[in-house]
A and B are shown apart, each in its own frame.
Chain A
Amino acid sequence: MFLETLAGASFRIAGEIGALLLAGSALAGLLVEGAAPHFWRAYLVGFAYFLSLSLGALFFVLLQHLTRSAWSVVLRRLAEGIAANMGLLAILSVPLLLFGLRSLYPWADETLAAHDPLVRAKSAYLNVPFFWVRWAVYFAVWTLTARWFLNRSVEQDRSGDVDLTLRMERASAPAMVLFAFTTTFAAFDLLMSRDPHWYSTIYGIYFFAGGVLGFLALLVAAACVTQRAGRMQRMITAEHYHDLGKLLFAFTVFWAYIAFSQYMLIWYADIPEETGWYLKRQSETWAWVSLALLVGHFFVPFLALLSRVPKRRKKMLVQVALWILAMHAIDLYYLAVPDSGVPALPPHPFYFTVFLGMAGLSVAAAGRCFRTRSLVPEKDPRLQESIAFENA
C-alpha cells in the first residue's frame, strides 16, 4: 500500500516538474530576446519524439490484433497505455499549431512564400489553414483509435467477452490503413516541410521506423520498471524480452535500411534540390551528428543485439533500449533542426528542458492511465498462452 502511494506520488511529482520545466522554458522563450526560435525548435523536437513513440505504440497494438499474436498479450496493455498518451500530445500540439508555425516553417510566412516560386507552387497544400485541418484529422484518427482499442481491452477485463477480441481484430485492419496514411503525411507536415523545397517519398517510413524502434525500446524499459516495482514478475519472462529484443534488432536494421535507401538514391542522382538537405546535415558540426547516428543508431545496437544472450538478459537489454531511446532523440534533432541553419553543437538548453518537461507530463499521463486500469488484459483469451510462451 505504501508502495502504491509512493508510485502515485512520483507520477504526480514527475507531472508537476514536467509542467514547470515546460512553462519555464516557454516563459524564457517569450521574454529573452531572440530565444523564441530556439524554444519552438526544441518544442518541435520534443513533440515529434513523444508523438513518434505513441505512434509506434499504436502501430504495435494494431499489429498484435492484426496478426492475432498470443506472445505479446502480457505486454499489450502497456503499449495501449503508451498509445493513449495521444490525448496529451493533442493538447501539446495546440501551442505549436497556433503560435509556432511561423517560426518553424518558411511556407507559413506569406511574404517569404510570395518571393519563392517553389513554395508558391506548393501553397495549395502548404498553407496554415489546411495544416490545421490536417492536424485535426490526424489527431482525431489517432486519439480515437488509441482510445477505442484501450477501452475495448479494458472492457474485456470486466466482462471477459471473447467477442471483444474479435471486434478488435476486425477493426485493426482498416485502422492500420488509416494509421499508415496519417503517419506518413504527419511526418511530411511536421518535419519534412521544415525545408519546403525538399521532398523524399520515403520520409514517412523513415519517421515511422524510428518511432516503432523508439517505442519498442520504451516498452522494454517500461516492462523493466514495472517488474522492478514488483508487478507482473512472473508474467513477463525472458521469452518476452527475447522477442522484444528480436523486434528491436529488426527495426534497427529496418531504420538503417530506409535511411540508406533515401541517402543512396539522392547521392546517386546528385541533383541540387535533393542533395541540399544532406549537404546541410554534412556541414560543420552537423556532420558529427550524422556520424553519431550512423555509428550509434545502427552499428552499436546492431552489434549489441546480434547475439541471443543480450536479448534474454533483462539488464543487458534495458541498457541497449535506453541507448536506442537516446539515439532516437538525436535522430529527431537531426531531422528537425538543421534546416534553420543553426549549428548542431552545443545544443541550446531548451532542448533538454522542453524534452524533460514533455517526458514528465507523459509519465504523469501514464500514471493517470494505469491508476484505475489493470496492467495486463486480464481476461484476454490468449493470456494464458502468452504467459506460457516459449521461443522454440
Chain B
Amino acid sequence: MNGRWTTADGAPLFGLLAEFEDVDALIEGAQKVRDAGYTKWDAHTPFPVHGLDDAMGIRHTKLSYLVFAAGVFGVFAGLGLQWWTNTVDYPLIISGKPFFALPANIPVLFEVMVLFAAAAAFVGMLAFNNLPLWYHSLFKSRRFLRATDDRFFISIEARDPKFDPRATRALLTSLRGAAVEEVEE
C-alpha cells in the first residue's frame, strides 16, 4: 500500500511488469534495471537461470549464518540435555562408564545439531522469503501465468524509492524484447 501512484483505471498501482521471450533478453534487462539502482524488484522465470543472481546484483544469502548459529546451539543443547538427564535428573550406571561420558554423547549431540540446523534452514528460508504468502498482486496479470511455462518477467514495485511511473516505464520499454504493463495492487 503506497497510495502514491494509481493505474490508468484509478486503482492503486502495485508496479510495472515487463515480459521477455528469452533468457538472454531477461539477463540483459536485469543488468540494466540493477544498474539503474532499483531495489524493490524481482525476476520471474519458469526454471533456474544461471547467472541471473549476478545480473540482478543479489548478494549471497545470510541464511548460512543462521544455520551455523542454530547448529552450534544444537550442540550445546544436546550436550546440556544429556549432562542434565545423566548426572542430575536420573543418574544410572551403564556398563561401568562415568555418568557423563563424552563418547556416548556424541551421536545424540550430532543428531540434535543436525535437527536444529535443518529446522533453522527450513524455517529461516521461509521467513527470509516472506513465505508463506497467501496473496501476490502479480497474479492479477493474465500474462504473468506464463511465468511457470515459457515466458520471463521483471517486475518493479511502486514502493521502490526510485520508482516513477513514466521514467520506470520508459526504462522497461527500452529493454530489448520487453512488453510492459501495469499491475494493480
Contact = CB atoms under 8 A, between A and B. Distances in A.
Interface of A: 260, 263-264, 267-268, 270, 306-308, 390, 392
Contacts of B68: 306
Contacts of A260: 103, 106
B51 A264 contact: no
B91 interface: no
B60 A264 contact: no
B50 interface: yes
A306 B51 CA distance: 24
B64 A390 contact: no
A268 B103 CA distance: 9
Given A264-B106, A267-B103, A390-B51, A308 B95 contact: no
B167 interface: no
4 closest cross-chain pairs (CB), A and B: A390-B50, A267-B103, A264-B103, A392-B48
B52 to A, nearest CB: 11
22 contacts: A260-B103, A260-B106, A263-B103, A264-B103, A264-B104, A264-B106, A264-B107, A267-B103, A268-B95, A268-B97, A268-B103, A268-B104, A270-B95, A270-B96, A306-B68, A307-B64, A308-B60, A308-B64, A390-B50, A390-B51, A392-B48, A392-B50
A238 to B, nearest CB: 12
Contacts of B51: 390
Interface of B: 48, 50-51, 60, 64, 68, 95-97, 103-104, 106-107
Contacts of A264: 103-104, 106-107
A264 B106 CA distance: 9
A268 B48 CA distance: 49
A235 B151 CA distance: 32
A278 to B, nearest CB: 11
Contacts of B60: 308
Nearest to A267: B103
B102 to A, nearest CB: 10
B99 to A, nearest CB: 15
B86 to A, nearest CB: 15
Nearest to B104: A268
Contacts of B103: 260, 263-264, 267-268
A260 B103 CA distance: 8
A2 B107 CA distance: 57
Contacts of B96: 270
Nearest to B50: A390
Nearest to B68: A306
A227 B175 CA distance: 39
A282 to B, nearest CB: 13
A308 B68 CA distance: 12
A277 to B, nearest CB: 16
Contacts of A306: 68
A238 B97 CA distance: 49
A118 B97 CA distance: 29
B17 to A, nearest CB: 26
Contacts of B48: 392
Contacts of B50: 390, 392
A264 B51 CA distance: 46
B106 to A, nearest CB: 6
Contacts of A392: 48, 50
A15 B12 CA distance: 77
A143 to B, nearest CB: 39
Given A264-B107, A268-B95, A308-B64, 12 more contacts: A260-B103, A260-B106, A263-B103, A264-B103, A264-B104, A264-B106, A268-B103, A268-B104, A307-B64, A390-B50, A390-B51, A392-B48
Interface centre among B60, B95, B103, B107, by most chain A C-beta atoms within 10 angstroms, is B103
A213 B74 CA distance: 27
Contacts of B95: 268, 270
A262 to B, nearest CB: 12
A306 B72 CA distance: 13
A151 B57 CA distance: 45
Contacts of B97: 268
B130 to A, nearest CB: 22
Nearest to B61: A308
A260 B64 CA distance: 26
B120 to A, nearest CB: 15
A260 B108 CA distance: 13
A263 B95 CA distance: 16
B63 to A, nearest CB: 11
A306 B64 CA distance: 10
A360 B49 CA distance: 46
A213 B97 CA distance: 34
Contacts of A308: 60, 64
A392 B64 CA distance: 16
Nearest to B107: A264
A268 B105 CA distance: 12
Contacts of A267: 103
A268 B95 CA distance: 8
A390 B51 CA distance: 9
A92 B50 CA distance: 48
